[in-house]
Structures are given as C-alpha cells and as structure tokens.
Amino acid sequence: MSERDGEPALVEVESLKKYFPIRKGLLQREVGRVHAVDDVSFAVHEGETLGLVGESGCGKSTLGRTIVRLLEPTAGSVAFEGRDISKLGTRRLRPLRREMQMVFQDPYASLNPRKRVGSIIGTPLKIHGVEKSAQRERVQELLETVGLSPEHYNRFPHEFSGGQRQRIGVARALALRPKLIVADEPVSALDVSIQSQMLNLLDDLQKELRLTYIFIAHDLSVVRHVSNRIAVMYLGKIVELSPAEELYQRPIMPYTEALLSAVPIPDPDLSAKRERIVLQGDVPSPIKPPSGCRFHPRCRYMTDICREVEPPLVTYGNDHLAACHHPLNVDKETLSRAEVSRRHSPNAADAGAKPRDPARPIPGTR
Amino acid sequence: MPERLIEVENLKVQFATEDGLVKAVDGVSFELSRGQVLGIVGESGSGKSVTAMTLLGLTRDRNTRFEGAVRYKGRNVLEMDEEELQEVRGNEMSMIFQDPMTSLNPVYTIGDQIREAIQIHQRADKRTARKRAIELLQQVGIPNADSRVDNYPHEFSGGMRQRAMIAMALACNPDVLIADEPTTALDVTIQAQIIELIDRLKDEFNSAVILITHDLGVVAEIADEIVVMYAGRVVERADTRALFYDPQMPYTWGLLGSIPRLDRPKQERLHSIKGTPPSLIRTPAGCKFRPRCPHAFDKCMEEPDLVNRVEDPHHLDRCWLGVNEKRKLREATLAGEEEAA
C-alpha cells in the first residue's frame, strides 16, 4: 500500500506524545516522566492493516490507546477522517466512539464475568441508543458473524474457551459497525491451533466489513500475516515503517534485523543454519532513554554519531522509512536519494542527520 | 550409553472434581538420559504441565490419583514420602516455571531466595551460600551480580527474573532441569537469550532438560527428542528431525501448518485445526483427535496404540492411517494450505 497522498487518511497521527508523570513524596511532586510514546507520526488508510510491533515497554499499547482516546495525549494530534479528535470533549467525542473500537489481549480479563454474553455485546448498542427491540437481533447476528451460535446469547463468559471469548470481544467491538479497530495483541493469549482460526476470522471480517485495523503484537510472524504495512517501535519511537513484505525481505534498521532473527523457526535444519543476532541486555528505561539513537547501547553497528545525534526517519523509496545512521540493505545510490521525511518526523533536529554510511559488515559473520 | 535418569511408565494422573473425574494425564511414557533435551509440546489442557509437576511430586493432593510409575535413577517418585521427595527436589531435579513475576517472592531479595534454596539442600553457612548465589547469578549472565544479589524481584526485568529463577533451579547442581514454558512470558529477543542460556548450562552442569512448551519453534532449536501431547496422552514421539520432517500424526502436522512462518512466502490464509481441544472429563471415544481430524475414518472410533509404524524404530505415533497415505495427505497441510472443507 502506498502513501496515497491525494486521499485523506482515515487516521493521521502527528507528533503524538504520551508521557506518564512519576510522582513521589508527600506533595506528589513530579520527579520524572515515562516517555511511553515520544513524537510519533504516521497515517493509516481506509481498509488497510497497520501492524505495530516491538518489545514489551516500547509503547505500542499506549500508542494504540492514545489513538482511540482511552488515554489523553500529552502533545501532538490524532486526526480521524480529517478531523482533529485529540482535543475533543467527552460529549463531542461520543459519536466518534462508534467509529473506533478496541479488541483487548486477555479474553479472560476483558469480559465482565457477571454479565451474560447478550448484555456484554449489547451494551454498546444500548449506550448508543439502538432501539431495544433491535438489540437482541443485532447481537445474535453478531454472534453468527464471529462464528459463534445465536443460542450463546444467554451464557456467561466462563462457559467459553479462550478462543471463543476472544470472538465475543470481537463481536462487541463490531457491534456499532466501526471503521477502525485497534486490536491489542488479540491472539497472543491463544493456543496455536486457535490462533490461526482467529487470524482468519479477522481477515474475513476486514474484507466483508471494509474494516481498518491497527494490529498491535509482539509476534513478528503473526504481524506479517495480517499487515499491509508495519511500524516497528522501540522505546516510544517508530524506528522503521515499511510495506509488510519489504520489512521482512529488506530490514533497514538493525533493531528490526535483530528482532527478525530472534523469531524461532519450526524447522530444525534451517534454524541451525541461521545466523542469530542475540541482543544483549534489556530495553533501557523509558524514564531516561539513551541519548542519540535510542537503540545504540544494544546495537552491533554502533558508532560515535549514534550516541550523539538522534537519527530522523528517512524515506528510502517504496514507502519504506527507517531511523538509523547506518542503514542495512541499502546501496550507495538509494542512500544518496534518501531524504529526511518531514511528514514522519516533523520535529527531527535537522536534515544534517541524514545517514551517510551504510552499516559495515560485522567481522566474523557473513 | 549416557546414564538413564528418568523413566516415566504409563503415568496416569486423575483429579476428582465436582464436575467429574479429570483425566489430566492418561498413559504417558518417556525416558530421559543425561545430556539430553526432551521437548514436551502441546496446547493448554493437554496435560504437559501436570506431567512435569508430577515428576517432582507437586501434584499430590487428596483428590488426586496416580497410576503407573515415575522412576528417577530407578526409584519410584510416586512412592516416595515427603522427606525423600524433599531430597530429590532441588538436589536432583528442579523446575523453572512459566511466570517469573509470580514465582519469585516479592518481599525477599533475589539473593535471599537463592541462598534459601542452597541452605535447605546443602549444609552451607550463610556466607558461603551468599557467595554461591553471586556465582550463580554470574553464570546465568546477570551483570554486576555482587550488587544485584541484594535487589528485590521488582527491580529486575522479566528476562532477568527468569535468569534468577534459573540460577535458583541450578543452585544444587540438579541432574534434571524441568522448564515449564520458560520463555512464554518473554519477548522474542529475551526468549533467544534464555534458550541459549538453558542450552549452554545443560552442558556446563552435565544435566538433562525437559522443556515444556506450546511453541514448536522453540523446541526445534534445542530439543533432541520431542513428545507431542493431546488430551492427556502422547500422540507422537520422535527424534526432533523426524518429528519436523516426517510427522505421522495429523495433529502434529496440523500444528506445524498453523504457525505463520517467517521463512516462507506469505500465505493468503492460514491453515487451522477446526474446533477446540476436548474436555478432559468426557474425552471423545476412540482416537482423541478424531472430532477435529479432517482425515478421520471408521477405524478411528477405536483408539490406536502409541506404536512404531515407520522405518525409524524410535518414531511412535497414534494414527490408523497408512504411512504412505499420510505422507501424501500431509503435504498440503504442512505447506500451510487451508483444509478443504
């Protein structure tokens, strides 16, 4: 999927920031801030799936929740169908809630155990003033849409397996015919055999109902399966944004390369042959993120500039962006044509930070 | 011939519950020798964790019934009393649990918890035990171990907590390390570190490992032999390469097919196994996988035994289909293609 400049995007995120204050002491003074989402810009087009990947603590869930305004942004804007929704009050936001829904990770925690399925899925209809007589019918229709049976209407969540509960969560999200669904790790709590059923269902629903997904996950193989484009996050920043297949064929950011190489492959011979980049250490604290490129303390291509200058997102053509001083898989010519993307990093320091040297091969590897 | 450490023979574990008798483990057999990594693979409710916990006598309760035998160096663990078990646990066999957040005590320091394990099982004074705890933390790759030893669990990240758990499990040089989903709660990058660590420590400590997981990718890397469990029984058992390249049970190849693969071109649709795993109270008649199996036929109403049906004598499975027929049928599934309805 390309940039599609003429057509307005369904969701347009610009310089979005979400900081959580850390308060201490009697007076609850602010002593620091968790930089959960730190200056992120991107667009999501109608009908596409944008995958959002990264390790835990990279800010992907916070970003998802800030987009649908479950969290208040600290700065920046989110436009939905061309209209800035980041500053709307509760009342003016309510009609927009119909258009944006979420599916949560844990099918055990996200359904009220005391409510029957009919009432769980029916609540959004009630809140948004759907006529009572029409509610039941709509709920039963939804149950069928997600592959459950209308007779399940009067059951409680505990009577269902994890996969079925997740289907109930999806039915609830679909109740008001939203345009955008933010799915936060919707399959990671499910068994492999159930996971693939769920992914196929989400795929069918997207085609049938022309849904747009923001699909948050840590599993790169799952994300590849569902996404048209993928954004890789690290410590609150998008470090690479690319059409899905291209990200797997030609990762530019060393972090993406390492993430990809860490995914286990269910093939013993292949997995023995494969070069594995084991990242040392953990993700640093988002309270005091490292200077310059936030990935530099764990990067094997790191040089002085990485420690000092933060790399802006640079576009390498074919809608592929990455923030790195030493890009991988990029030849001299592409590098010379590459440009700092104003659209995706409007606050980037200056164009002087454009990468000049591709990554050098690491001695002792291919 | 490496030393045989564990022999599980026709193990059955049943829990009496209000709803009926749960046959959590229903006739499981396997062996484990020194230096070996055995992978136990299955979905939730397949009985893999109950099997592992029974090896350490952790499932004993008033409502539990056991049959069969779990022999550790020839002694039956099921018949040991608590005191004997206490000797075995930690010293001979130890366990790493899935969730490092809940299996560490939040009010004691990491060092105290490792020290406790050492002092219970070995006659060591406090100072020696603490020194040993620091050594262990270094061995599992915790930086600045001598100061980190005094940290509380909340000061450790998920990956570090799992390393601390491993350090604790290794405290008394056990012969067998049982890891129950050791990487499920961790990020892929950290998972890679932990798997590498377990593999390295197995050699350093000259021990054997039982790795329980639902992730076939993880066992592909380090297991020597794999046991696939379904509804409380072993449905296939083979050397790792044989299991991946010549899987005999439709359930196994269904699992292999439903994983989205990074090493292959993207598929339009994912293969999926229809339905859900059966209840362990009322399991289906005949082959337990029959209701979900696209290739089931009349004979499947009778339960097949776990026997050798292929050229490789180590390879056992429970499926009535002819070997040649299976090899033809599984191609589409293994390629990840969707089942023809």
Contact B276/A218, CB-based, under 8 Å?
A: no
Please tell me the distance from the alpha carbon of residue B159 to that of residue B182, in angstroms, as a whole number: 10
In order, the DSSP letters of B21-44 are EEEEEEEEEEEEETT-EEEEE--T
Instruction: Give Cβ neighbours of residue A139 (< 8 Å, ≥ 6 apart).
Output: A117, A118, A121, A122, A125, A153, A171, A175
Q: Cα separations (Å) of A21 from A61, A199, A262, B298, B306?
A: 17, 36, 33, 65, 59
- Per-residue pLDDT tens for A272-293? 888 888 887 778 888 899 999 9
Residue A287 touches chain B, beta carbons under 8 Å: no
Q: What is the pLDDT tens value at each position of chain B, 341 positions in all?
A: 789 999 999 999 999 998 899 999 999 999 999 999 999 999 888 999 999 999 999 999 999 999 999 999 999 999 999 999 988 988 899 999 887 778 899 999 999 999 998 988 888 899 999 999 999 999 888 888 889 999 999 988 888 898 899 999 988 889 999 999 888 878 888 888 888 889 988 998 899 999 999 889 889 989 999 999 999 999 999 999 999 999 999 999 999 988 888 888 888 888 888 888 888 888 899 999 999 999 999 999 999 999 999 999 999 999 999 999 999 999 888 887 765 44
The answer to whether the CB atoms of B159 and A162 lie below 8 A apart is no
**How many angstroms separate the Cα of B181 from the Cα of each of B48, B285, B325?**
10, 30, 34
Distances (CA, A) of A75 to A71, A233, B82, B87: 12, 18, 60, 59
Report pLDDT digits (tens) over A206-243: 999 999 999 999 889 899 999 999 999 999 999 999 99
Total residue length of chain B: 341
Structure token pair of residue B9: 């023979």
Q: String of b and e for A97-111 (b: at least 16 CB within 10 Å)?
A: bebbbbbbbebeebb
A264 and B270 in contact by Cβ < 8 A? no
Three-state SS at A183: strand
Q: Tell me the H-state helices in A146-243.
A: 162-174, 192-209, 220-226
Contact indicator for B25, B13 with CB cutoff of 8 Å: yes
Q: What is the pLDDT of residue B336?
A: 75
Residues of A in contact with B185 (CB under 8 A): none
- How many angstroms separate the CA atoms of A320 and B180, rounded? 40
Taking only the tens place, the pLDDT of each residue in A111-164 is 999 999 999 999 999 998 888 888 999 999 999 999 899 989 999 999 888 889
Output the pTM of the full model.
0.87
Cβ contact, residue pair B220, A164, below 8 Å: no
Of B159, B192, B216, the CB nearest to A282: B159
The answer to whether the CB atoms of B188 and A259 lie below 8 A apart is yes
Q: Do you know the residue count of chain A?
A: 366
pLDDT at B277: 86
How is residue B151 annotated by DSSP? -
Amino acid in the structure at residue A102: M
Return the pLDDT at A347.
64
Which chain B residues have any C-beta within 8 angstroms of a chain A C-beta? 43-44, 143, 157-160, 187-193, 195-196, 214-218, 220-221, 240-241, 244, 254-256, 258-263, 266-267, 269-274, 276-277
Closest CA to A139 of A92, A97, A90, A175: A175
Residues of B in contact with A264 (CB under 8 A): 188, 191-192, 195, 215, 217-218, 220-221
Q: How far is A144 from chain B (nearest CA, A)?
A: 16
Report the gap between the CA of B269 and the closest CA in chain A (Å): 6
CA closest to B223 among chain A residues: A268
Q: How far is B71 from chain A (nearest CA, A)?
A: 30
